[in-house]
Amino acid sequence: MEMESRFMVRYAETDQMGIVHHSNYAIWFEVGRTEFLKHLGLSYKEIEKRGILLPLYEMNCKFKSPAHYEDEIIIKTKIKLLSKVRAIFSYEVANGMDGKILATGETMHGWTDIRLKPINAQAVAPEIYSLLSKSEM
């Protein structure tokens, strides 16, 4: 399953050249991931209330074309891989006006408890794991 998030590039996200600064893509990936979970009926807040965290341990992003102030941005988010100990989300960032791909990327997360000790998500939170596994590519 793939979820789309849409928004406009804000002036503060651009650099002196009028191009979106690369640091914003990590934030945009988080927007996509948060909305993906909400679409499934989950939220980070609810997951964390259960004592479960999904810390980021790796991220990559390939920039293909620049985004500019007031461009409409579409972030397509999906789960690339789900296991008992980790989850990998993939992202495609596109220009909403012409569909041009601006960037692609992934974030890798580990399932942990509040002490950041790895957990088996399927055993600790079977309903959350099941919801996510049904949405996996």
* Tokens representing residue 50 in the block: 């259960």
15 is catalytic: yes
Distance between start and end Cα atoms, the chain: 6
Cβ atoms of 121 and 129 within 8 Å: the answer is yes
- Cα 107 to Cα 69: distance, rounded to the nearest angstrom: 25
Catalytic residue among 15, 71, 98, 113: 15
- Cα 107 to Cα 86: distance, rounded to the nearest angstrom: 11
Element (H, E) at 103: strand 101-110
Which residues are the active-site residues? 15
